[in-house]
A and B are shown apart, each in its own frame.
Chain A
């Protein structure tokens, strides 16, 4: 199963991070290759983005269903492809290191199904961890920018 996890220590308190992450519109444009998204309900949204696989780019549509909002430390979600045959899930986690530092972790797993599944999963093996890292880093960078924290 292609998956990736990436953690960064952020010099911000956990509430600041939760306030940002819990509002999807804040970080949606930071998803690598983001094109658009639509929030259908508190727990459901659809997304369109262009995945850069290195040797090609592919536009995909997917649906995200939030499974759990565990304020202030965790968001768990499932995802499934609307335009392609894949499914998976992931989470954002925030963990207090000290009063002014929070460890932020992003995790993503995506598995392709169908006849082409084994081949697509070979391609996703690098793409998924790279996307998990890029998204986590982009969110951290945005948080630092919004809170005027110099890096």
Chain B
């Protein structure tokens, strides 16, 4: 149950923001610029949330950086593209236009009022560049400029770091390989960060410049409601584990991430269990639980930012084997197979789309034949030519990599049907010879060859599996975060089960309903909407009249 108003607040501010990711910082900065006294509460010791752990890229139509680079884009094209991707399955259709109309304003605002800077990630393209409605030249994705972490002083060491992402921009290959290791070393020496850490560090600098207070190790535990159901504060837990009541004269913004690490919520809401989340483990649905307690309606709850995740078992993050983005699956000389040794999906499609094939149901056998883990099977040619998970070309295969000199032996080792695997590889090899994957259309989508104009093609993406030894790595159902939460209006304000606005309660980012439904528009398809809703929510909550939340009626 939500808490009731205490006899006395430990602290009173205008706006409380729960979380310190991209949506949270954007909301906090906008609220502060409306004159609000803002406090950010972070559950973890480290700040930056899912954003700091990510590429830090927002996908924003019609943005200023595109214009400067001469990339043509229009409101109408962006809306048409999003309508094509979302297939009418969004929690609130109006939000497509709200997003397109406000995303670039958010970018402009941050550019003009904070140190947040982006550049175009040339030669990056749109994930769905092969679709008729897509932008054909360039991208709407924005790449954070490298940022000098020394500018945020001691806070710098608290910004969360994804061990997989070196300090390179997206354009320099930070998230996709092909990197300059000398440049990495130089940036590390000089404390220069990129991608998610850069975005968070520059937002943090903007927040510190405004004297926004930030408390880490201080999770929000419950909302405080008045007798009318309005949200007037938060019960948090301080570093000593003591409950503290913090009043919010204007409101509370839930921007504390998704619920992918809360197995009970995952089981309740998602169509398939995320067994290998790829985000910071603190994303346990704290904001969602608080919103539900306050009577919020929910939206887009069955969706996540899906990812076919892989593991290098020698790498751990926060005492768990790290679930990684992996790599190599769109290269030639590889396929992904289920337990029958059968291909079941276009292996090089986007990470958000591929796992949808995992929960295909067979109504005759009464089973999910593609349920993860499934297996990426590849040969020595791919091993020699591409980075696969953490394995660099030319290096010896590590102990943990399953391998065999024949496909049948490999099938036995990984527990898939040997005959099925041999047949699948034979069929794949025959299709490679013909230069056409007639089963799943590998070599036809932009994403599988993202840096090339025109995207995937037979030469880059089709290649026989024929040179022993043969290898296999498990591919698991992962997610970058969940994508459902409290329903919100055009200002990010939470709507109740009865369809009314809940006074004083806002939500943004993965803590809110995904405004684009199942769609992941391109690189930054998560952060773009998150920061845009954060912008709207911060602007609104910062400008509403401050309420008198002093104790006229006390409860304890």
Contact = CB atoms under 8 A, between A and B. Distances in A.
B189 A114 contact: no
Interface of A is mostly: mixed
Interface stretch (A14-22, A23-31, A97-105, A118-126): A118-126
Interface string B288-326: 000000000000000000000000011111010010000
Nearest to A61: B399
Contacts of A57: 315-317, 319
Interface string B87-98: 000000000000
Interface residues of A, number: 20
Contacts of B184: 118-119, 122
Give the residue among B316, B319, B399 with the most A Cβ atoms within 10 A.
B316
A123 B315 contact: no
- Among B166, B182, B188, chain A packs the most CB atoms within 10 A around the CB of B188
Nearest to B157: A54
B368 interface: no
Contacts of B188: 119, 122-123
Contact of B161 (A55, A83, A116, A122): A55
Q: Do most interface residues of chain B lie in helix, strand or loop, or is the interface mixed?
A: mixed
Given A55-B161, A119-B188, A60 B315 contact: no
A60 B181 contact: no
B316 A115 contact: no
B182 A118 contact: yes
A106 B359 CA distance: 55
Nearest to B188: A122
B208 interface: no
B314 A83 contact: yes
Interface in A80-131: 83, 85, 114-119, 121-123
Contacts of B163: 53, 55-56
Given A83-B398, A114-B395, A119 B316 contact: no
A59 B166 contact: no
B185 A119 contact: yes
A84 B188 CA distance: 21
B80 interface: no
Contact of B399 (A83, A85, A121, A122): A83
Nearest to A57: B316
A121 B161 contact: no
Given A60-B314, A83-B314, A116-B392, A121 B185 contact: yes
B314 A115 contact: no
B293 to A, nearest CB: 34
A117 B317 contact: no
A114 B315 CA distance: 19
21 contacts: A53-B163, A55-B163, A55-B317, A56-B317, A56-B322, A57-B317, A57-B319, A59-B314, A59-B316, A60-B314, A114-B395, A115-B392, A116-B181, A116-B392, A118-B182, A119-B184, A119-B185, A119-B188, A121-B185, A122-B185, A122-B188
Top 5 A-B residue pairs of the complex, sorted by shortest distance between their CB atoms: A56-B163, A118-B185, A122-B188, A57-B316, A59-B314
